[in-house]
Amino acid sequence: MTWTFLWSVLSGCIMYGVPLLYATLGEVIGQRAGMVNLGLEGILLVGASIGFVVTAKTGNAALGVIVAMAAGGLFNLLYAFLAVTRRANQLASGLALMFFGIGLSALIGKAYIGTRIVGLARYQIPGIAQLPWASKTLFNYDVLVYLAFPMAILVWWVLFRTRWGLSLRAVGESPTAAFAAGRRVSLLRYQAQFLNGALSGLAGAHLSLALAMSWTEGMTGGRGFIAVALVIFSRWHPLRAIAGALLFGGAVTLQLQLQAQGTDVSPFLLNMIPYVLTLGVLVVWGGVRRFAAPGALGRVYYGED
């Protein structure tokens, strides 16, 4: 029983950590451009609802994922328009986007509540899953799980090894200096927010198409805000986000497993575990090494007038 419990926690740690990782990677890109987006929760819900509806209508989960990514990217351009073009307060714009996304996703998925679908197929790693010590659940995932860690490496490479990434980080540190050096600040920020939305839409699609395989209103359960906290935990670095996502995925899985085991603890207290951990991260890391954060994070830029 002990080994079964351990394997279940490890497997769930990965499965529940993957959507958090995708959303965190998107927000890392966005914040590296100097923009804080509190609307991730709404983008996740839009991606989850649209991806589910497309999959339910077509029976093609891969198409659902692609459409969810496109929808998330386009939806987040609304935030970019408010914060970049109209120069509205970033925090207020993000919250407005969140509430809009919550309402829009509820409208989109209203007719599909209770509908079941055949979600993303799972694949076992050849050879490893047949080893005596290996758990069948630990090495049995959908393709988005296998792509999550290479995606983190790709985001790291793009941010720190390409000219576009250098320009984006320059905008996040000092948009005035970047503009003086010939960088198009507004365009780079729009591009960053589209990628942020696309990865968040992908995260939402993974929730509805791989984990739940159904649609319910508010199914993200605050993961958008946890992703924002994970950006701080990772110190705005894509590779460190892997550890943070696994940690929070493990917290979610642990409380689910403890409830399944019939632990004599209030389920309400167990449900609080991931969010208490989020508060702990903000307390411990919120004021440490502030220079890790982009210098112009959250500031409105007027320099291209």
* Residue 281 identity (one-letter amino acid): V
d(CA 261, CA 212): 20
Q: Which residues pair with 142 in a beta bridge?
A: 122
Structure tokens that stand for 157 in this block = 């490479």
Q: Is 289 left (phi over 0), alpha (psi -120 to 50) or beta?
A: left
**304 and 179 Cβ atoms separated by less than 8 Å:** yes
Give the CA distances from residue 114 to residues 61, 204, 212, 244, in Å, rounded to whole numbers and listed in that order: 17, 18, 11, 32
SS3 244: helix
Tell me what percent of the chain is helix, strand and coil, each rounded to the nearest 5: 70, 0, 25
**At CA 26, angle to CA 164 and CA 220, rounded to 5?**
170
Instruction: Specify burial of residue 262 (Cβ count, 10 A radius: 0-12, 13-18, 19+).
Output: exposed
Per-residue pLDDT, 254: 75
d(CA 120, CA 124): 13
Helical packing angle, 223-233 and 185-206, nearest 10°: 120
Per-residue pLDDT, 40: 96
d(CA 191, CA 121): 31
Summary count for the chain: helices (H), strands (E): 12, 2
Per-residue pLDDT, 119: 87
SS3 168: helix
The architecture CATH gives domain 17-112+141-292 = Orthogonal Bundle (1.10)
Handedness of CA 241, 13, 274, 121 (dihedral sign): positive
d(CA 221, CA 248): 13
d(CA 53, CA 61): 10
Q: So where are the chain's domains?
A: 17-112+141-292
d(CA 129, CA 140): 8
For the chain, 305 residues long, give each residue's pLDDT as a single digit of tens.
465 666 666 777 888 899 999 999 999 999 999 999 999 999 999 999 999 999 999 999 999 999 999 999 999 999 999 999 999 999 999 999 999 999 999 999 999 998 889 889 888 777 665 655 555 556 778 899 999 999 999 999 999 999 999 999 999 999 999 999 999 999 999 999 999 999 999 999 999 999 989 999 999 988 999 899 889 888 899 999 998 888 888 777 777 667 666 666 666 666 677 777 777 766 766 555 554 789 899 888 887 54
* Among 84, 87, 112, 292, CA closest to 209: 112
Cα of 170 vs its chain's centroid, Å: 24
**185 and 171 Cβ atoms separated by less than 8 Å:** yes
Segment holding 252, helix H or strand E: helix 238-260
d(CA 233, CA 143): 26
